[in-house]
């Protein structure tokens, strides 16, 4: 039996859009976002952590701007 290495794919590779339930609302991920997520998944753990650290900061700042606008 062949052994699969690495984490399972987060998203279907042929999907144009991915729908996900987030609380009481539905989130629709477009093709470009799915491509970016797939590319991030293929990076090393250290690179993913750095990207998510930066992304978390950018999201925090965007939410703060929206809250105080």
Tens digits of per-residue pLDDT, 21-62?
A: 656 666 777 888 889 999 999 999 999 999 999 999 999 999
Residue 57 lies in a domain: yes
What is the domain range of residue 31? 18-67
Q: Is residue 53 part of a domain?
A: yes
DSSP assigned state of 64: H
> In angstroms, rounded to a whole number, what is the distance separating the alpha carbons of residues 68 and 7?
39
In 3D space, the residue among 54, 19, 58, 26 whose CA is nearest the CA of residue 40 turns out to be 54
Name which of 32, 11, 7, 8 is nearest 20 in CA terms.
11
- Give a yes or no: residue 8 inside a domain: no
Determine the pLDDT at residue 42. 97
How far apart CA 14 and CA 35 sit, in angstroms, is 10
- For residue 13, what is the DSSP state? T
């Amino acid at each position: 039996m062949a052994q699969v290495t690495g984490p399972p794919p987060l998203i279907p590779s042929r999907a144009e859009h991915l729908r996900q339930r987030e609380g009481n609302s539905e989130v629709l991920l477009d093709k470009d976002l799915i491509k970016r997520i797939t590319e991030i998944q293929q990076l090393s753990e250290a690179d993913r952590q750095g990207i998510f650290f930066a992304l978390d900061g950018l999201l925090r700042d965007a939410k703060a701007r929206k809250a105080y606008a």
